[in-house]
Structure 1
Amino acid sequence: MLGKLNHTQIERLLNEQVVGRIACQRQGELYLVPINYVYRDGCIYAHSGEGKKIRMMRENPKVCFAVDDIRSVFNWQSVVAQGTFEEITDIEEKQQALQGIIHRIMPLVTKPEGHPSHGITEKESDVGTNVELVIYRIRLGETSGRFESAE
């Protein structure tokens, strides 16, 4: 059976997942990349090093965000949302957002010493020495969700 997710189901899927995808566009070029994220108060919070995705979103802040829970070809849920990129510059807000991201993905990390680029490491001195983290949010607007199940 194919169907639409209701608002509660969309919120649950956004909260449960840890990896989503951001699609951005600049001067006719499309770019789609996976990100680790945490969902809170209608926003996707994430971080990145400086690079193509950040440059594109700074130039054109309109993005699309997608997340899935695929259990099999015939048992899945998917959410697609339109959103707006906002770089977080306030130090306290950046720290809160990064802490939320780290707490969300930490249970999935097997070797903390191997992920300083994500702000996850055993020694704080390993974080940010070569990589300047950009902390940002995607303020979600229109969302839609679909599912397929055998029931």
Structure 2
Amino acid sequence: MRKEKCALDRGAIEALILNNTYGTLALSQEGKPYSIPMNYGYRDGCFYFHGAQEGMRYEYVQANPNAGFCIVDHETLRPELFSTDYASVIAHGKIELVEKEDEKKEWLDGFVGTLRAKTTRGRKYVYRPGSIEYSRL
């Protein structure tokens, strides 16, 4: 890190992750970058994402499962300093496809839990086996 004094402590990192609902997933295939905004869930030190097992994102992950994920929070423009204040978390890792149905349900519960604060009260989420595909970083 360029500025150690700017580093967040573990508690601030966890709070930033839990208080936000999306970030940018960065992938690469044959030297071509691909970055896409994604909702996420977070539990036990892992980010998890859902999506179809087709399309550009899936193709990139199949070709190269190494990924980066960035969440940005607290943006404040400081025009007098030609600068911006913000807090961010950047993660790197390998994306793994979640295959087992019971594990998919577990991740779905975590994903919904992460987004619950942003959902309409009174709505119920029902897990349908075979309907959800997950990957984790």
TM-score (normalised: structure 1): 0.71
Structure with greater contact order relative to length (CA < 8 Å, sep ≥ 6) = 1
Letter in 2 for 1:6: D
Number of aligned residue pairs: 126
Match of 2:56 in 1: 52
Please identify runs of 4+ aligned residues in structure 1 that moved more than 3 A: 109-112, 121-125
Instruction: State the secondary structure of the residue aligned to 1:5.
Output: coil
Match of 2:136 in 1: 137
- Kindly state the Cα deviation for residue 122 of structure 1 after the two structures are TM-superposed: 6.3
1:93 is aligned to 2:96: no
Preserved contact between residue 42 and residue 110 of structure 2 (Cα < 8 Å): no
The amino acid that maps onto 1:77 is A
Show structure 2 runs of 5+ residues with no match: 78-83
8 Å contact from structure 1 (residues 43, 137) kept in 2: yes
Please give the TM-score of this superposition, normalised by the length of structure 2. 0.77
CA contact (8 A) 2:18 2:114 kept: no
CA distance in 2, matches of 1:83, 1:66: 12
Q: Deviations over 1:59-107 (max 9, x none)?
A: 2110001001134224420111111100000110001101211232133
Contact 1:58 1:85 in 2 (8 A): no
Letter in 2 for 1:53: R
Greater Cα shift, 70-79 or 46-55: 70-79
1:33-112 to 2 correspondences below 5 Å: 33-49=36-52, 50-73=54-77, 74-110=84-120
What is the DSSP-based 3-state SS (H/G/I as helix, E as strand, rest coil) of the residue aligned with 1:17? coil
8 A Cα contact 2:104 2:132, kept in partner: no
Unaligned runs of 5+ in 1: 113-120, 139-151
User: Aligned residues: percent identity?
Assistant: 28
SS in 1 for 2:6: strand
Partner of 2:25: 22
Whichever residue aligns with residue 86 of structure 1, its letter is: E
Q: CA RMSD in A?
A: 2.7
Report if aligned partners of 2:101, 2:129 keep a CA contact under 8 Å in 1: no
